[in-house]
Amino acid sequence: MQINVTKPFLPPLAEYHAYLEGIWRREWLTNHGPLSSELELRLKEYLSLDYLLYVTNGTIALQLGIKALELTGEIITTPFSYVATTSTIVWENCTPTMVDISPDTLNIDPAKIEQAITDKTSAILATHVFGNPCAIEEIDAIAKKHGLKVIYDAAHAFGTKYHGKSAFQYGDLSATSFHATKLFHTIEGGAVICQSPELLKRVAEMRNFGHLSPTEFGLVGINGKNSEAHAAMGLCNLKYIDEILAKRRQLHQRYKERLSGLPVRFQSIERDCEYNHAYFPVIFESEEILLHVVAALNLNSINPRRYFYPSLSELNYVRQAERTPISNDISRRVLCLPLHFTLSDEEVDLVCRLIHRSLKY
């Protein structure tokens, strides 16, 4: 049996089927149906948010954010994230300016942001890496000082709290993903979280082709809507989210205990944070050791992931002027171990035994 780095949480089939029966009765499959609207409401209630829009996926959420905030020119961002963070900036005809990361938190290093700001800079787009919140106060202070917008790529941050509030509540806008690999998912999906009703209205119009009415268009939009079948999965899964978060916390702690004493280190979690344990990254002493461990795990049908590799500063469509030695180095040495709801303690112990054995070669 394969042990993969992640595995979708699936609710009881009968619960999902009950939602599908309602969809069949109503014959309303998409275009802001009742389940999509209910999911938005339930998510706002659970996360204590004022403004949230359910969209097609996390990438569309980022695109809508860049467009709605009317960003142009250069956007300061992190080289240590999933490729969508950078490619979305490029897709929206802006230029990503890479700023290196903290070797401890793995998030963008706020101490290096100001020196990257130019007269063409319009925003900071920072990722809460592996669900660990950024240095939010420092980033927001820099943005206010220079008149910049702030977008947080919060694809991993569902359930993370910072100073007692959802990580989604910070910045001008947050974009998150509800992809099947995430701890909360709607099969495919995502959300835009705004801090003002005016911005929410603009994103809502953009999400639906720019419609103001069936025959009137107010601005350029795209198809960023999601379906009733996807929303149904989200409504099912939201019922179990506290159980999911608790299980991940327990597995995370077991990993740390079983790997203690080894020549590896772990991501430092930001202070004043209630962490969601979205991933379990391990940083090895060298890429050679990492590859040796991966080979040993693969031989035993265990599939970790080099997440994130390569450093986005090495993409061929990114300016090569910025040096990001820490991200380049970390990306070669970091490995995410299997972590999901149905992972057993015995499987965690097996992964850890194999790592122990590999590091003694």
Domains of the chain: residue spans and CATH? 3-238 (3.40.640.10), 241-358 (3.90.1150.10)
Strand runs labelled E in 244-318 = 265-266, 273-274, 280-283, 302-303
Confidence (pLDDT) at 321: 63
pLDDT of residue 116 exceeding 90: yes
> What's the CA gap between 361 and 339, in Å, rounded?
25
pLDDT of residue 322 exceeding 80: no
Q: Is the pTM of this model over 0.75?
A: yes
Confidence (pLDDT) at 1: 83
| Interval 277-282 mean pLDDT | 98
What letter does residue 50 receive in the DSSP assignment? S
Read off the pLDDT of residues 120-142 as tens digits, 9 standing for 90 and up: 999 999 999 999 999 999 999 99
Is there a contact between 326 and 101 (Cβ–Cβ < 8 Å)? yes
> What's the CA gap between 52 and 219, in Å, rounded?
20
Among 86, 129, 139, 74, residue whose Cα is nearest residue 106:
129
